[in-house]
Amino acid sequence: MTVTDDRSTPVVDFDIYDPTLAYPVDTVQEKVAELAAKGPVVYSTAHGGHWIVTRYKEAHEVLRNPETFSSYPNNLVNAGDGKFLPLELDPPEHTAYRVALQPLFSPNRMKALTEQIRAVVNELIDGFAGDGEAEFISAFAHELPTRVFLALMDWPLEDAPMFTEATDIALMGKPGASEEESAQARAEAAQQMFGYFQKIVDERRANPGDDVTSVLIHTEIDLADGKRLLTDEELTRMFFLLLIAGLHTVQGSLAWAIIHLVNRPGQRAALIADDGLIPSAVEEILRIEAAVVMGRRATRDVELGGVRIKEGDQLIVMLCSANRDADEFDDPDTLDLERTPNRHLSFGAGPHRCLGSHLARLELSIALEELHRRIPDYELVESDPPVLHATQVRGCLRLPIKFTPAS
Amino acid sequence: MTAHDTETKRGTRRLVVDRSVCAGHGLCYSRSPEVVDCDDSGYPVILQDILELEEHIAAAEEAVAVCPERALTLESS
């Protein structure tokens, strides 16, 4: 890819995979705001060159136009050792997958899990409420989506540590290692997961249950080569995506809820006083820090936000800065739990809208409700601050909190 | 619609969803269940073809405003 000869194109060396972006202090929003100030679309020389979309209008346009902006490849690094399915497919192939998947993650099906999720939430809080302190990620934010999602898929909970390690490597590479070593580690982690899911597929083919995994194995999909069952490779590539998408994003959003509400005591007090605020609070927590940095590839020469993008050029879409675009949101850097309307893009837009959004909203709602009922005065621990990470799925690795011990 | 109707209220409206644009975010029926429900895949189902009550029109306006895809419009009927 070459930088256009248009000299007005802002050129930067921003790399979303640079570990120092988020550690020791999370500066992602700050750095991305600097990019947004340069232009709605800027060019980075990192990863062989790519465009960075920073503003709401352009992000919306890219996400809703899969014909011009293909979702393959989604990642600047080879996170999945091949395609993630169906994320890295375009319509109409992608549509066929969604027709099969959407009913399994529909609002009504997810709503039916409410009491089950509330039980998990309270069981986890029981585990630390009496201590007056906790490492919120390992005690709660990691465990909640893991338990809920593994139950839905009927994947063994005891395998969760292995899932976690493999998905961490897929997203973040190997800490401290060279790019080549990280690439090698990513490929190995992906292959390990494919091997694991192959065993699950074999087992559920033989003994189907009523879990989502079994249903997907036995659902025919209307693909280009006719209506058929998914192959083992298609299934394992889809399960790997569902795993990454279902766990890390919720973990990060729960952590950001705590961090932002600690910083806004008035807003937290309002939420504690009135749990009618929960639905709009969830949307605002989602808006203020979007976890996902989506990737797209231009399928034709196109002008976007005043720059000329060439066929084959790679783009990333910074939802976290689109969500703080003053043209769309009043006072965008301020957490406002009553914000309305709040048309944030944290679940994306267009055909790839997050499949798990209904489940994520439910998990976040119940977690916010129960945490503020049971340990409402949580604070961060000054000597042991949160550890966040960048990459194309931003999130939180460690978040020590303290609070008045409760029963 | 008669002249009398326009004097006493804003007149009847029609809430329309553009299914080619809707991506099933589900905010419309979460916000305004009085006027929008959802189907088994999570796409909106408009409950009443013609909206007459002021409270339903207000709910429909909210549904239009929350949509990240701008898939809903409120038309004069």
Q: Are B40 and A106 a contacting pair at CB < 8 A?
A: yes
- pLDDT per position as a tens digit, A351-385: 999 999 999 999 999 999 999 999 999 999 999 99
Q: What is the value of ipTM here, to two decimals?
A: 0.92
pLDDT mean across residues, chain A: 95
Which residue among A99, A103, A341 sits closest to B66, beta carbon to beta carbon?
Answer: A341
Provide the 3-class DSSP secondary structure of residue A221: strand
Q: Which residue has the higher pLDDT, A246 or A288?
A: A288
Burial letters for B4-27: b for 16+ Cβ neighbours within 10 Å, e otherwise? eeeeeeeebbebbbeeeebbbbbb
Rounded CA-CA distance A68/A114 in Å is: 39
Q: Are B42 and A107 a contacting pair at CB < 8 A?
A: yes
Question: What contacts A350, CB < 8 A, 6 or more positions away?
Answer: A63, A64, A65, A66, B23, B69
Q: Binning pLDDT at 50, 70 and 90, where does residue B71 land?
A: very high
**Domain segments of chain A as ranges:** 11-402
| Residue A182: how many other CB atoms lie within 10 Å | 18
Which residue among A279, A345, A350 sits closest to B30, beta carbon to beta carbon?
Answer: A279
Rounded CA-CA distance A228/A293 in Å is: 32
Q: Chain B partners of A351 at a C-beta cutoff of 8 Å? A: 23
Q: Residue A329, Cα to own-chain centre: how many angstroms?
A: 21
- The pair phi, psi for residue B74, each rounded to 5°, is -110, 115
- pLDDT per position as a tens digit, A160-178: 999 889 988 988 898 888 9
pTM of the model: 0.95
Q: Are B41 and A103 a contacting pair at CB < 8 A?
A: yes
Q: Is residue B4's pLDDT more than 80?
A: no
Give CA separation, A363 vs A116, A120, A143, A355, in Å.
10, 10, 12, 14
Chain A / chain B CB contacts < 8 angstroms: 46
Nearest residue of B to residue A56, measured between CA atoms: B68
Measured in angstroms, the CA of A404 and the nearest CA of chain B are apart by 34
* CATH code of domain B3-76: 3.30.70.20
- Report whether the peptide linkage leading into residue A92 is cis, meaning its omega lies within 30 degrees of zero: yes
- pLDDT per position as a tens digit, A12-56: 999 999 999 999 999 999 999 999 999 999 999 999 999 999 999
* Domain A11-402 grouped into CATH 3.40.190.10: no
Give CA separation, A2 vs A43, A99, A308, A346, B28, in Å.
10, 38, 11, 30, 43
Q: Are B40 and A103 a contacting pair at CB < 8 A?
A: yes
- The mean per-residue pLDDT over the stretch A124-137 comes to 98
Q: State residue A280's pLDDT score.
A: 97
Where are any strands of DSSP class E within A71-219? 133-135
